[in-house]
Structure 1
Amino acid sequence: MTDTLPDRSAAPATLRWTADQDLSPDMWNMLCGPGGPFERTVEDVLGAPAEVFVQRPPHLPAVLVQAAERHPDAGYCVFDGPEPETLTYGEALSWTAAYAEVLRDEHGIGKGDRVAIASPNRREYLLTLWATLSLGGVIVSLNGWWTPAELAHGIELTGPSLLLGSARPLERLARTEAAGRLPLVPLEELDRAAAAVHDPAARLFPAGIEEDDPAAILFTSGTTSRPKGATLSHRNFVHFGMFGGCGGAVVVINGGGRYRQVPGDVQRTSVCSNPFFHVSGVGPALVTAPMFGSRLVFPARGRWDAERVLALTERYGLTQWHGVPTHFWRMLTHPDFEKYSTGQVAVIGSGGSSFAPELLRLFEEKMPGVQITNGYGMTETTGGGTFLNGPQMDGHPASVGSAAPTMEVQVRGPEGEPLGENEVGEVCIRGAGVFLGYWNDPEATAAALTADRWYLTGDYGRIVDGVLYLESRMRDLIIRGGENIYPIEIEYRLVEHPGVADAAVIGVPDRILGQQVKAFVVPEPGASLTEEEIRGWVGEALAAFKVPAFVEFRDALPYNATGKVIKRELEEESGVS
């Protein structure tokens, strides 16, 4: 296509991606011109105009089918461990067909049925995702770190027909009320049943799947005490892969001899430390890797460990690292960093947190020439929003970049009016990556999506020179190692303790994790509480990453005239700028 897309907004500071500002005319035509892999046009999507890629797969199963046809023997996934498990693209396709046969014939799964899974990342989990999608079903990815009570909420909200799990998440699933009325099947059992019908020559022929059919329900932390189920479509995921590939192609072309390059005969290989219940985990596994023929390496189960990833980098020849700045801090500052081969790593991909200047300097010192890319997005936008590539990282390191391909970004005032440059307001995003809505929650959906499908992020920022700068996250949001935490959920739990009269929770800076959780607790008169007791109380009901790292006991909390806790005062006293 050409740069004649209709101007769909009069906003003076609407961000849209146009590759011609970064590429020569010849390269522009090769990538984005008519018939090019990233040709774009405007179509009606759910009643609103949206920019879409023309040369796109029709749905997710088609992505896997096409990958297996193009490179059946190429490595797809490696699940590391004492006995690493590997899958080629051809093997993934035939095993998906076997899993789908079992889900359909033994469990009655068909179009629209939800299949809930709680498990660490593993081969059986990935194949179950593909099999569910190939039947037209909907994945319900339950947070594997949730407590039984949190799992029960996710199950009640989404109404799955089948529960699947493994390891500790399976044990917690078994302790929910739903386990007594719904089939609960270990993933190992599903795999044994699939092995009995597996045919290496089998192929998938998915039919009846529409682009805007729901594909997955991923849970997001809400401003209330209950997570919401963000519903993502096949179109959302397909565009996740394509706008990532498009932006990456531009970085490679513009990099020239300035950045490290992956030799043409070397398969691009990434480490994926993010769980499948995160969009940053399931997106690369279902779209980015198969769409572009790359390989994913999943670390062995257990807590993320810097030295383990450094060892994987050498063992599997990783060419890309993906994670959050917390991960990179830990690897670059590890005392044994120099022992491992990292010279082949060409790309660092991140999102969700800005790179501190000292982290960028550390990369330049220890891994000169590596390309660093960052972005801003969330589950509701399938991870898409803005994209900060190598050249922009130099000029605008504190920003989160310009609009990702096919996405539009505005900053709006209190009445919803688009603002001009340098004006601070709410960041709003529209595009083919914006979710369908919150499952079974029309009120929350209406509050987050406008009639013309702009997603209201609740984050605040300003646009300067064509890039977005975040001013702050939604007032209370804590981002700890890439995990979104809303204090109200922890506060609700704290005040349920019989010895707690009042409580408030804030985020405090942490060099490695970005932020840590700090709780201010006012004991009931005569109550004797300890930090360990408070942490244990929270940990009984909420996931471990929500447990306060710091607990401060107070006689009272500061309140304003309207009866709200003055968290700014608590933050200032805790050294939060």
Structure 2
Amino acid sequence: MTTPADAQQRLNEAITRLTGPGGRFEITAEEVLGATMPVLRHRGRAVGDLVAASRAWKDRDYLVTADRRISYEQHADAVAALATALRDEYGVVRGDRVALLAANCPEWVTAFWAAQCLGAVAVGLNSWWMPREIEYGLRHSRPRVLIVDAKRAALLADIDTAEIAVLTVEDHVPRLVAAHSGAELPRAEVDEDDPSVILYTSGTSGRPKGALHSQRNLLAVVDYHRFSDAMAAAFTGRAYSETEPSPLRYLLTSPLFHIASLHNLVVPRLATGSTVVMYQGAFAADTVLGLIERERVTNWGAVPTMAARLLEHGDIDNYDLSSLTAFALASAPSSIALKDRLRQRFPFARDALVDSYGLTECSTAIAVATTAELEQYPGTLGRPILTVSVEIRDPFGERVPDGTEGEVCVRSPFVMLGYWADEAATAAAITPDRWLRTGDFGVLEDGRLRLTGRRSDLILRGGENVYPTEIEQCLDEHPAVAECAVVGVPHEDLGQEVAAIVVVRPGAGVDEAQLHEYAAARLSYYKVPGRWRITSEPLPRNATGKVIRRGLTA
């Protein structure tokens, strides 16, 4: 019988073999932008090089939608043609910005890779933005070319784009690809720490900032995913080879302008030969479940709100979901109660559910909690991933002992170069020795990270620090609560009062007094909401699934 201790020993042995001297993922210390940190010795230097290498996967599916299949060979040909057109017809060169403003579609992916092959910087603009926000993004990033779909093109009517070449997904891109069919794939000489991508932060408070990611950042993410595949193979006794395509099929349901879909799905899959099954349109449980069944999806990283909607779906048993062997929650916090409900409802979640913690500024996960860890340590977000260092620091920037709450600080090859065109914000976020101040508060316990809240969400009630996350996770466990948000509201004596906006489940009956009694039995008195708003309307969320707290009141 294999015990947890035996499993952990096997895991440690596999890590040592893969990352030690002579291993495929050998870790060494090198200087990165003036600071010494762990990096992989054997690594690529240019993101665009992945396109040429992907031809090895030939006619295997790279991108699949409801009505299209694009092989690796077809994709590489389209990238070569579009990159050539951008260079020869629009003058795009190394360092220029190519902005992308469109719903998820294969052309978005093709344009991203075309920019990489030219050494240009791909700018993922939020496709949920309205004209005022789009105008800000364009003025801020100053792209030479904007690739836009018809729906977003209509929003450009009152925006000055005279200095930008605007190309449409539906018309220009197919014509340019056809006109330059058979072109040789361009290759730009870039440095490892040259910029590669700008993705905008959620902007839940203030204007969005452009997180500038380097060639190093994206390639480090690719190697992390390769390492994860090698670890899985080593742990199960299977052979691992980077020259053989991976049979895994990944469902993409989040927007491409987010690291979950771009950096951690579309980019590494090109390197591993896996398939990306791209969901398009507003989330609908029936359509998603049908796509999983039809395409035999093996891996899905879902925003917690999507997972919660599946729980409300009545016909889940009508779908064959047996192919799904990896199920991750990502992009937004999720409660212990949600994870428990997922395990109870879905067989695949019992053996495959994992959780993680990451930021746009960090390109990928900072820490990942395995299925076993989630069961043994409810609330944990796991241990830092490969080459990531995490410290908990006090307000003066000093490291605090394990078990002590403080700000989560991170240093790794995944951390962004900085914020595009914003030196002040960069200096406030990244220390001279390359530690990123996340703005999140948490605790390290036996090397595992647990979050307690965000500094920006902190409620100061009568001199006591109150973090909404703790209260929200408590209320989430109430059987009548579908979702909730806790915010601070002005109070004459206390400075701020705790207020809760609670969305109840259909058909559930619960009132303010019952919720107050429930919370009072589980939380310190000063954490119990003093004001309540009970509603059936879903909470407002941004494109990455995070609750938009600004403007919420009870």
- TM-score between both structures, scaled by the size of structure 2: 0.80
Amino acid at match of 1:283: H
Write the mapping of 1:175-324 to structure 2, written as runs, cut at 5 A.
175-177=158-160, 179-188=161-170, 189-199=172-182, 203-222=184-203, 225-247=206-228, 249-250=230-231, 253-254=234-235, 267-300=247-280, 302-324=281-303
Structure 2 alignment gaps of length 5 or more: 1-6, 239-243, 460-467, 501-528, 535-553
The alignment status of 1:434 with 2:421, answered yes or no, reads no
Give % identity. Answer: 32
Give the distance between the partners of 1:460 and 1:418, measured in 2 at CA: 13
Q: Report the equivalent of 2:50.
A: 63
Change beyond 3 A, Cα 1:235–1:514: farther
Give the distance between the partners of 1:169 and 1:281, measured in 2 at CA: 20
Q: What count of residue pairs does the alignment treat as equivalent?
A: 479
Superposed CA deviations along residues 283-305 of structure 1, whole A, max 9, x for unmatched, are 134422112221111113x2111
Give the distance between the partners of 2:474 and 2:210, measured in 1 at CA: 28
Which of 404, 424, 443 pairs up with 1:462?
Answer: 443
Q: Report the equivalent of 2:543.
A: none
Contact 2:118 2:186 in 1 (8 A): no
Give the distance between the partners of 1:335 and 1:462, measured in 2 at CA: 38
Contact 2:25 2:40 in 1 (8 A): yes
The alignment status of 1:37 with 2:18, answered yes or no, reads no
Which of 328, 331, 339 pairs up with 1:349?
Answer: 328
Contact 1:75 1:87 in 2 (8 A): yes
Write the mapping of 1:19-34 to structure 2, written as runs, cut at 5 A.
23=10, 27-28=14-15, 30-34=17-21
The alignment status of 1:76 with 2:62, answered yes or no, reads yes
Contact 1:508 1:516 in 2 (8 A): no
Q: Secondary structure at the match of 2:185?
A: coil
Superposed CA deviations along residues 242-279 of structure 1, whole A, max 9, x for unmatched, are 2234245435654789xxxxxx9982111101111111
Q: Report the equivalent of 1:383.
A: 364
Change beyond 3 A, Cα 1:206–1:508: farther
Give the distance between the partners of 2:80 and 2:322, measured in 1 at CA: 39
Contact 1:60 1:286 in 2 (8 A): no
RMSD: 3.1
Give the distance between the partners of 1:120 and 1:477, measured in 2 at CA: 34
Give the distance between the partners of 2:234 and 2:492, measured in 1 at CA: 55
Give the distance between the partners of 1:517 and 1:29, measured in 2 at CA: 44
Superposed CA deviations along residues 106-135 of structure 1, whole A, max 9, x for unmatched, are 111000001111100111111110001110
Contact 1:145 1:169 in 2 (8 A): no
Change beyond 3 A, Cα 1:203–1:88: farther
Write the mapping of 1:388-403 to structure 2, written as runs, cut at 5 A.
388-403=369-384
Contact 1:216 1:231 in 2 (8 A): yes
Change beyond 3 A, Cα 1:427–1:266: closer
Give the distance between the partners of 1:474 and 1:26, measured in 2 at CA: 38
Structure with the bigger RCO (C-alpha within 8 Å, sep 6+) is: 1
Change beyond 3 A, Cα 1:210–1:362: same
The alignment status of 1:135 with 2:118, answered yes or no, reads yes
Alpha-carbon offset, residue 149 of structure 1: 0.3
Give the distance between the partners of 2:316 and 2:62, measured in 1 at CA: 27
Write the mapping of 1:89-100 to structure 2, written as runs, cut at 5 A.
89-100=72-83
Change beyond 3 A, Cα 1:290–1:266: closer
Change beyond 3 A, Cα 1:207–1:185: closer
- TM-score between both structures, scaled by the size of structure 1: 0.76
Change beyond 3 A, Cα 1:132–1:245: same
Give the distance between the partners of 1:395 and 1:255, measured in 2 at CA: 22
Alpha-carbon offset, residue 460 of structure 1: 0.2
